[in-house]
A = this chain, B = another copy of it.
Amino acid sequence: MGARRRAKRGVTIVDVAEALGVAPSTVSNALHDKDIVAPRTKARIMAMAKAMNYEASAAARALVTRQSSSVGVILPDFANPVFNEIISGLNSILVPAGYATLVASTANDGRTCKAAIHAFVKRDVDAIVVISQCLDIEETAQLAGCGLPVVLVHRTPADWQTTHAPSSTFDYVGMDNTGGVYALVRHLADLGHRRIGFITGPKQSSAACERTRGFRDGVAALGLDAAPELVADGSYDFIAGMRGARELLSLPQRPTAVIAANDLMAFGTMDVAQQMGLSVPKDLSIVGVDDVFFSAFPMISLTTARQPATEIGESVGERLLERFSDEALSPIAVTLPVEIIVRHSTAEAPSRVDPGSPLSTDNLEAYLASRWKPSTIIVA
C-alpha cells in the first residue's frame, strides 16, 4: 500500500558535533560562517564536516526557518519554448545561489492555476513567479494573500491592478513592447513602406496592448497611413495570423508590409501570402515579435523584435535574490530593451502593388483547419 520507509540515513549535525566534542549549535554556526565562532574551531568543524561528508537536511532546515530555498514558477502552458528560455535564465541565477525551481502549468485554466499556487504555498516556496495570462480576481487575491514575494512576467502590475486587485505589491519584469514595435514600424518606413498592416495579440494581455500602441505611435509619428482597417484583431496563434493576414491582404488597397504582434502570427501571414502568390519580401514585407527559434531558420528568415527571454529570467532571478535579503523592498518594474533582428522577410516597398490572387476558399475556418491536418496517420 503506502510507500515503504526510506532506509537512507545521512550524517547529521549532531554526528559532526559529537565527533569533535563540540555542541551542535557551534557546528551550525560554523557552517553558516558566523563570526561568533573562533577561527580555529570553525576550521576544525569545516574540515570534519567535509570529511564526514555532511549534508544539511533541506527538510529540517525548512521546518525551522520556514524557508525552502525554492521558488515556484507558473506558466500558462508547457508548449511555448519561450518560457523555457525564461526558466533557463532564472535558473542560471537561482541555482548557484542554492535555490531550486518548481514548475507548474496552468494549462490556461483557473482551477489548475489555483491548485498550483496552493501546492507551492504548501511547499513553502520562498517566492512565486507568474508567467500567465489567465490569472483572475480569485487567484490574484490568493497570491497577494499568501504574503510571498511575487514577480509578474509580461504583465504589468498596473494592468493587474486596474483589472483585478485594488493594490498590489508585485514586482514586474517585461520587455519594451511599445518601443520594439515602434522600431519595427520605423524600419519598414525606412524601406519606403507607407501602408502597413498590423495584426494584434489578445486584447486582455497588457503586453499585446503595448505592442498595438507601439504600432499606432509609430504610424502617427512617422506620418504613415493610419486607416483603421489596417489593424486586424488576432490572438497570438498561427491560425489567427492567417485570418488576420487574409483580412489585410484582401483589402482593396492592400498594405505593402504586415507587422504581426508575434512570430507565430507572422508565420501565418507568410503562409497566406504564399498562397496568394505574393512573394516575400519582394511583394510583401512581413515582421513579427519574439524571435522564436524558427524565425532564424533560413527558410523562414523572419525580421522580428527579439524578446529578451533569457535576460528576463535572469532579471527575475536577481530581483528575487534582492528581495530575499531585504523583504522591505518596494515593488519595482523592470522593462528590458528589445533588439530588431533584420532578416530576409523585409525589403524595400514595391513600386507597384500587385494585389495577389484572392484566396479561393469560401469557408475559411474549415480551410485553415484542413491545412493543419495530416492526410494520413499510420500507426507503425
Contacts and interface: CB of A to CB of B under 8 A. Distances in A.
Interface stretch (A17-25, A81-89, A134-142, A251-259): A81-89
Contact of A375 (B84, B180, B293, B344): B344
B58 A123 contact: yes
Best-buried of A2, A84, A324, A327 by chain B (most CB within 10 Å): A84
B65 A63 contact: no
A45 interface: no
B180 A340 contact: no
A245 to B, nearest CB: 12
A121 to B, nearest CB: 8
A360 interface: no
Interface residues of A, number: 89
Nearest to A6: B66
B67 A380 contact: no
Interface in A1-43: 1-8
A102 B102 contact: yes
A274 B300 CA distance: 12
A274 B79 CA distance: 29
A183 interface: yes
Nearest to A179: B380
Given A59-B124, A271-B299, A325-B2, A187 B378 contact: yes
A359 interface: no
A174 to B, nearest CB: 15
A380 B342 contact: no
Contacts of A294: 294
Contacts of A77: 88
Interface string A292-315: 011011111001010000000000
30 contacts: A1-B325, A3-B126, A6-B147, A8-B66, A8-B146, A55-B121, A58-B122, A59-B59, A59-B60, A78-B87, A79-B81, A88-B105, A91-B103, A91-B104, A91-B105, A95-B104, A101-B102, A101-B103, A182-B380, A183-B378, A270-B299, A294-B294, A299-B300, A338-B380, A339-B377, A339-B378, A339-B380, A340-B379, A340-B380, A342-B377
Can you list the 9 inter-chain pairs with the closest CB atoms, starting with the nearest? A183-B380, A59-B62, A78-B88, A342-B376, A340-B378, A78-B84, A298-B371, A59-B63, A6-B66
